[in-house]
Every structure is written in C-alpha cells, then in structure tokens.
Chain A
Amino acid sequence: ETGVTQSPTHLIKTRGQQVTLRCSSQSGHNTVSWYQQALGQGPQFIFQYYREEENGRGNFPPRFSGLQFPNYSSELNVNALELDDSALYLCASSLLAGGGETQYFGPGTRLLVL
C-alpha cells in the first residue's frame, strides 16, 4: 500500500458528460501527478500539481483540468467526455516536484464512457 487513495474506483458516464476524480496524496507529499492509461498502453502524463499550482502539462486538451487543495489532495476534471476518454486514471504523489523523485501511485479510477 502506498498511502495514495483515489475515488471512485469505477465510474460509468455517457458522452458529453463531465466527471470529477479525486486523489489523496501520501502524507507529507506536496506534489500530485495525474496519468491516463488506455487499455494495453502505458500511462500517459496529464499534468502535475505542486503546492496548489499546475506545474507542467502533457499533451491533453483544456477540457482536462485539475485542482490541488491546501491539504495537497487533488481533483481531475474532464468536461465534454468522449468515448476515447475511457481509461484507467492514475494519480501519483511525490515528496517534491523535481526529477529523481519516486512517485507513489494510487489504485486508479476506471472510467468507462458510453
């Protein structure tokens, strides 16, 4: 167990809807990163939050947005859901935002868009 939790574990939405996924980071970690993992693929970096500010973004459209709260927990919001958004969404926390830090992953939220 990494101490990183995510909710919900599974979610079914229809195309066009909006979804919010939640992540609680490991105690003492101020950095949260979000990844999308499509079936049969490796995780793809979405964005990272460090001390409540976005600290880098991958190749994802603006309808993917996030927040980090003062307790360093985080949300991932996806608007106007598309079928291709169906995936496992993973969050990972780390002690610092810089490179060379081990990232501790949560169990993921599996999103299915119909």
Chain B
Amino acid sequence: SQQGEEDPQALSIQEGENATMNCSYKTSINNLQWYRQNSGRGLVHLILIRSNEREKHSGRLRVTLDTSKKSSSLLITASRAADTASYFCATDLKSLGRLYFGRGTQLTVWP
C-alpha cells in the first residue's frame, strides 16, 4: 500500500505560473523526500526535509512540512516547460532507508 499520497493527481499550468503539489502520509516520519521523474525514466532527487524542519528551499523549489497534519507541499515557482514531469513524495519509515512513494502528481507546463 502507498504510504504517501500526492494531490492533485494531475496539474496543468502555463509557463511562468507557480505549481503547488501536496503530499499526505499516514505514520510518523523522520524525513520526507521529493523526487521528479521524466516519462517513466529514473527518479531525480529534488529535496529532503527532516521532521524537525518546517521549510526548505532549493532554487525555484520550496518544500514545507507540517508533521501535525502529516502533510508536505512542493512549490515550483516560475514554472518552465522543462518542469513537465511526475513528482513523487517519499517517506522513510523508521529511518531504515526504505522509501515509500505515493502515486505522484503529473505536472504539465505549457509554453
């Protein structure tokens, strides 16, 4: 079963707009990671946020974590057509190095 669930399942926006994707999870975590996948290829690690962190930035990416609500969000600012991909959140239950992924959000950015 999926530990995390992303919302929405699909998101379609114009270049220059911001894209926000949400992730909810079920059990307590030590960290949460966001990955990107282009067209069924390998996953690219975007950002890791630990349970004692509330917000983290990396370039045009901003990730927030609310452990009380068991949720995280990924914001991509000023989106580009090249950002078109599937985005997954992954949790590491019990810090064993085993990632549990949601079904992902398919982001399409139109030029």
* Chain A residues engaging chain B, CB cutoff 8 angstroms: 2, 4, 31, 33, 35, 37, 39-45, 48, 55-56, 58, 88, 90, 92, 94, 96-108, 110
Contacts and interface: CB of A to CB of B under 8 A. Distances in A.
A42 B88 contact: yes
B94 A99 contact: yes
13 contacts: A2-B44, A33-B98, A40-B103, A48-B97, A56-B97, A90-B43, A92-B43, A92-B99, A96-B97, A97-B97, A100-B92, A102-B48, A104-B45
A72 to B, nearest CB: 15
Given A107-B42, A110-B40, A100 B102 contact: no
Contacts of B90: 42
Nearest to A45: B98
Contacts of B30: 99-100
